[in-house]
Structure 1
């Protein structure tokens, strides 16, 4: 691990953007360059030891592990579906490559030419619909969707699923990715119906049902792709229809290319830098606010002492005593401005996150359910408002929040970043305090008392 330079600057906060905008930048070429830069670990303020790939591959320590990254996306950024889909896709690609069943040849690759053709067809359909749209006040608009319009009935989507005569190899069990379960036929039927409705809304026919992994793809469509999905990805209408066209044709991993590129770009260029920036903060909001107040108070106390000594008949050298308050106050304030408490940093500790405070008090089954839910590729929506810790933490008084439980920071790279930020705060405080001290020492005394 290389040394962090003294002029280090933590990652800037990156605002959320539409995945559609990210995909447009990919097509223009800028996104591809950004993605290559992100993969190489050259993001500003993020050392190689805390790169996105290191975190995802399990090469980091708390509080910068994959679990903490997922918790950040669930509880802070509320966009965990991107990482959930990304992790599922990684395992899907591996399992697809290892599949040796006879039906694997039925899933042909979705090429760039096919994707371009599908997008062109979608854009053409949109243009025709816009041209044929009824003008305001016309009879077609008034009776649109009613029984008076010929062919207005909604076509039903037939359930064309037939028994799959070929076997699909399961995933290798791991802590976060369990094998896909094909045993629940009622759930399969439900996901198949939802997926077929999504395909119909995109203007494509129900897909070839005996392709490998088709049941799993149906579940992905119902969970991440279709409108109203519990973990719906932030896709534009064009992107959603394009990927549905691809998935209606094949279950090959290349069918997800338009989605995985945008998802990975969002994770690497927006979620990951924000997570590192957030992880640098070692105190909760209450503690950081307390540190800011303490720093401001010490600075004011230094000014008060300097003014009193200047107005008094004391020797000028005594005015330098005010620099003690300035150094402590300015360094504390600068560190707090960057989300750090200097007291916690002195012990290389951090506050326990609100969702971590009460999880150990729950029953084992409930605790395991909460821990595993976010890593379940096909779980329910990423909502935490109903979790038992929310109300309990809201009722916690401010003093207890300021002095919440602490844990040791085990990630060396993060500790090194915090050391540099603390050193920067102290150096700035010393320089500013020296300037203020010189000014007050040179001012003639008033000898008022």
Structure 2
């Protein structure tokens, strides 16, 4: 694939979730997975599209592992990709279940979502309770809860989410009668629109058994604790409405369809924000000290060109000598332009790139631990911070000169090399044009004859 000289690398996309409304996100995601939709018009060729990266069809430095490291160490949002990969694996495992097990978790259909949305809108339209009424309702709920033995942490997988849910839905929806250790028939004793949604899922499937025997119930409880609950270690960037709807769906079923809307939000964030930023970042072949050093060289070259042009103009030398300024200009301007896009022209000449700080010390790990957990692919691992990883203090101790000339490796991805090639050509052509204009201006000025 050969790119045109008008190629532009992907623009930086902020992490704001408000750029699209909830109804526009599914359409945006669908557009992003249409063949050719991620083409060079957006700076991302199909060879390094989101789907190619996730399915393992790319080479370093744009592999799935590189994408995960970027989200973890650069954008600090690895939870989106971790959840997305978990869900893809979860769908496959759920589909592989025997029918006798999968039928225990009915599908969460659009009908159930519409019913839950109606209950939520009805709740929002209610008048707020007075202080006295709220106190009476709280006392009644406390009295009712004392009549039942409280479920244990192991019995109730939604223990971590009740505090959040009760802040957004009618309080009686989350009373003692919604204990997930009871048969589903117990839901009928609670007269609230939101609880009625849970009934619908089981009435449609003809089910009448405890939700605790549903497949993967313990795993779903773990996912809620890690990704959904308020204050979770890997809390997804969801709106309160999305979080509440998901918790209500998971109270009724562990079917993958319960995650339908949340997965759309996460996938939209990955495709339309994280992936373009990752490609933009990957185009740069040098670390920050090397790029700053390259910018300094570019500025020094431009200053040298200006001084050369000034000295030859003010002297008695002929106009032809002023063209000598083209040499430092042609070195400085392309170097500065390329460095402004994160590229070092010296590294590019060899199609090399610097190793990332977290890659430098992988061979120094005495344990040789290179499993998926170390690569942040363990979706059920509660750890998210990397400040305690061994490479952090080691890299901080490296002096600036060593960082500028850190270890280099070959850029293996052909599509990325071609993008870097076209950016280098653009920088050279821009340097040639600007150098010619600047030198032409100096050549038009009469000589000074000062020395």
TM-score after normalising by structure 2: 0.84
Matches within 5 A, 1:46-61: 46-61=44-59
Question: Any unmatched runs of 5+ in structure 2?
Answer: 181-210
What's the CA shift for 1:126?
Answer: 3.6
Which of 414, 436, 440 is matched with 2:438 structurally? 436
Q: Number of matched residues?
A: 408
Q: 1:158 to 1:218 in 2, by over 3 A?
A: farther
1:39-92 deviation digits (Å, cap 9, x = unpaired) = 125230000000000000000000000000000000001111110110011111
Contact 1:61 1:410 in 2 (8 A): yes
CA distance in 1 between partners of 2:312 and 2:161 (Å): 78
Matches within 5 A, 1:31-46: 31-40=25-34, 41-43=36-38, 44-46=42-44
What's the CA shift for 1:140?
Answer: 4.6
Contact 1:63 1:410 in 2 (8 A): yes
CA distance in 2 between partners of 1:189 and 1:108 (Å): 21
CA distance in 2 between partners of 1:33 and 1:386 (Å): 40
What's the CA shift for 1:15?
Answer: 0.3
Contact 2:285 2:353 in 1 (8 A): yes
Contact 1:192 1:219 in 2 (8 A): no
CA distance in 2 between partners of 1:158 and 1:234 (Å): 35
CA distance in 1 between partners of 2:27 and 2:120 (Å): 27
Contact 1:199 1:206 in 2 (8 A): no
1:69 aligns with 2:58: no
Matches within 5 A, 1:163-174: none
RMSD of the TM alignment (CA)? Answer: 2.6
Q: 1:103 to 1:196 in 2, by over 3 A?
A: farther
Question: Any unmatched runs of 5+ in structure 1?
Answer: 162-185
Partner of 2:251: 248
Report the secondary structure of 2:409's partner residue: strand
Which of 329, 333, 336 is matched with 2:336 structurally? 333
Q: 1:115 to 1:158 in 2, by over 3 A?
A: farther
Contact 1:160 1:209 in 2 (8 A): no
Partner of 1:407: 409
Partner of 1:382: 384
1:350-389 deviation digits (Å, cap 9, x = unpaired) = 1111111122212225x43685351001001311011121
Matches within 5 A, 1:75-90: 75-90=73-88
Partner of 1:291: 294
What's the CA shift for 1:36?
Answer: 1.9
Contact 1:8 1:45 in 2 (8 A): yes
Report the secondary structure of 1:381's partner residue: coil
Query: Higher mean Cα deviation, 386-395 or 286-295?
Result: 386-395
Which of 10, 17, 21 is matched with 1:25 structurally? 21
TM-score after normalising by structure 1: 0.85
1:399-422 deviation digits (Å, cap 9, x = unpaired) = 111111111110000000000000
Contact 1:159 1:192 in 2 (8 A): no
Partner of 2:189: none
Partner of 1:12: 11
Partner of 1:194: 160
Q: 1:371 to 1:62 in 2, by over 3 A?
A: farther
1:295-314 deviation digits (Å, cap 9, x = unpaired) = 00100000001100001111
Report the secondary structure of 1:209's partner residue: helix
Contact 2:65 2:375 in 1 (8 A): no
Which of 311, 314, 318 is matched with 1:311 structurally? 314
Contact 1:196 1:206 in 2 (8 A): no
Partner of 2:96: 98
What's the CA shift for 1:133?
Answer: 4.6
1:230 aligns with 2:229: no
1:150 aligns with 2:150: no
1:269-325 deviation digits (Å, cap 9, x = unpaired) = 000000000000101111111111110010000000110000111111010010111
CA distance in 1 between partners of 2:49 and 2:155 (Å): 41
Q: 1:394 to 1:127 in 2, by over 3 A?
A: farther
Partner of 2:188: none
Contact 1:373 1:379 in 2 (8 A): no
CA distance in 2 between partners of 1:410 and 1:344 (Å): 14
Q: 1:39 to 1:159 in 2, by over 3 A?
A: farther
Contact 1:306 1:322 in 2 (8 A): yes
Contact 1:295 1:332 in 2 (8 A): yes
Q: 1:288 to 1:133 in 2, by over 3 A?
A: farther
1:65-121 deviation digits (Å, cap 9, x = unpaired) = 000000000000111111011001111111111211512112111111211221221
CA distance in 2 between partners of 1:359 and 1:15 (Å): 31
CA distance in 2 between partners of 1:148 and 1:60 (Å): 58
1:208-227 deviation digits (Å, cap 9, x = unpaired) = 11122212211111111111
Contact 1:119 1:238 in 2 (8 A): no
Query: Higher mean Cα deviation, 280-289 or 380-389?
Result: 380-389
CA distance in 2 between partners of 1:31 and 1:92 (Å): 23
CA distance in 2 between partners of 1:153 and 1:13 (Å): 51
